[in-house]
């Protein structure tokens, strides 16, 4: 009997030692969760957050992640997904040529408005780059016409998304006033990117090009305070009272997804700051996890200390 008790004791001790690294990591997750709550409490507005470890889907932080928010330009992620999906199927080619028309122009189209209507020819890939980098609304609308709004929504529905919807073209204030707003929840918008990352939507080649396109440098909120050479595939969104940003952050050894959406903001700047604060705190945790052993020894490149 005494032998059996000794065996059980040492087995329990070994089990506890094996679990200790995950317990320590849980402490970091709990502290990040508290930081998110602190930022939320100080924000004069409404915020939803979804953070997920792409190496462990069970490790995540969710705050009002199923609430539906206006997406603003973050809905362009869904447009880009459908563009690449149709390119993969052969329905179109990213090299297909489009001639810019004067009727294309809508507000917030810094690149398209500088082009010569009826003369300038661009590819669908060029239009996608304008949409991602400059958030050019005219380029986005041309792409929506080309791929079909109904096709974007059909793809979203087929993937199981019920909150994420493209219901109007860019700067269609009449549609917005009638309640046809572009919508998503933080969980769904992040899951859309996660599905692409996991190869559930596009083949390997198209997936790589999709994230290469989405990671082009742009003015946004998630990268603020993060290393300049860090690859971040994201798309922010801005409307009156609304600030969003959603993306995949390619931290070495520990990539993660993050989506922060805000609305009812009294000051839009506060929403931008809230997104950046959560982004920095999230990066700091994943960066340490990516450079650490399972017991928490962090090793920086070039560090020779003992």
Domain spans of the chain?
26-291
What does the pLDDT look like over 223-241, one tens digit per residue? Answer: 999 999 999 999 999 999 9
Q: Distance between CA 123 and CA 128 in Å, rounded?
A: 9
pLDDT at 160: 98
pLDDT at 6: 46
Mean pLDDT on 34-58: 96
Beta bridge partners of 293: none
More reliable by pLDDT, 180 or 36:
36
H or E element that contains 53? strand 46-53
pLDDT at 174: 81
pLDDT at 306: 54
Asked if residue 101 has pLDDT above 90, the reply is yes
Structure tokens at 281: 């705190």
Q: Distance between CA 131 and CA 111 in Å, rounded?
A: 10
Within a 10 A sphere around the Cβ of 70, how many other Cβ atoms? 20
Has this prediction a pTM greater than 0.75?
Answer: yes
Query: Quick one: which of 204, 290, 213, 288 has its CA closest to 247?
Result: 213
Q: Distance between CA 256 and CA 55 in Å, rounded?
A: 8
What does the pLDDT look like over 264-281, one tens digit per residue? Answer: 999 999 999 999 999 999
What does the pLDDT look like over 161-204, one tens digit per residue? Answer: 999 999 999 988 787 778 889 999 999 999 999 999 999 999 99
Query: Quick one: which of 33, 24, 21 has its CA closest to 282?
Result: 33
Asked if residue 221 has pLDDT above 60, the reply is yes
pLDDT at 21: 52
Among residues of the chain, what percentage have pLDDT more than 90? 85
Q: Name the phi and psi angles at 296, rounded to 5.
A: 100, 10
Asked if residue 61 has pLDDT above 60, the reply is yes
pLDDT at 193: 98
Mean pLDDT on 97-120: 95
Structure tokens at 254: 């520990």
| DSSP symbol at 70 | E
Mean pLDDT on 64-71: 98
> 26-291 has which CATH code?
3.40.710.10
Q: Distance between CA 218 and CA 237 in Å, rounded?
A: 12
pLDDT at 3: 46
């Amino acid at each position: 009997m005494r032998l059996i008790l000794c065996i059980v004791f040492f087995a329990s001790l070994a089990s506890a030692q094996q679990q200790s690294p995950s317990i320590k990591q849980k402490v970091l997750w709990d502290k990040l969760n508290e930081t998110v709550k602190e930022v939320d409490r100080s924000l004069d507005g409404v915020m939803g957050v979804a953070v997920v470890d792409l190496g462990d889907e069970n490790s995540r932080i969710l705050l009002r992640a199923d609430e539906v928010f206006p997406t603003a330009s973050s809905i362009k992620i869904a447009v880009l997904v459908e563009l690449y999906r149709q390119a993969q199927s052969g329905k179109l080619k990213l090299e297909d040529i489009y001639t810019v028309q004067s009727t294309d122009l809508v507000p917030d189209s810094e690149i398209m408005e500088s082009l010569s209507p009826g003369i300038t020819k661009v590819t669908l890939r060029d239009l996608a780059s304008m949409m991602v980098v400059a958030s050019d609304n005219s380029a986005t609308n041309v792409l929506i016409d080309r791929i079909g709004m109904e096709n974007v929504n059909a793809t979203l529905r087929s993937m199981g998304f019920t909150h994420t919807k493209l219901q109007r073209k860019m700067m269609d204030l009449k549609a917005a006033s009638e309640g046809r707003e572009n919508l998503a929840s933080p969980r769904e918008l992040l899951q859309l990117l996660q599905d692409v990352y996991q190869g559930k939507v596009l083949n390997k080649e198209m997936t790589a090009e999709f994230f290469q396109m989405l990671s082009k440098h742009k003015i946004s909120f998630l990268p603020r305070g993060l290393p300049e050479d860090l690859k971040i595939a994201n798309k922010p969104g801005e409307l009156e009272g609304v600030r969003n940003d959603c993306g995949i952050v390619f931290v070495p050894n520990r990539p993660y997804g993050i989506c922060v959406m805000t609305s009812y903001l009294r000051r839009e700047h506060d929403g931008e700051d809230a997104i950046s604060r959560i982004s920095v705190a999230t990066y700091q945790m994943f960066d340490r996890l990516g450079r650490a052993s399972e017991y928490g020894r962090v090793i920086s490149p070039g560090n020779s200390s003992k």
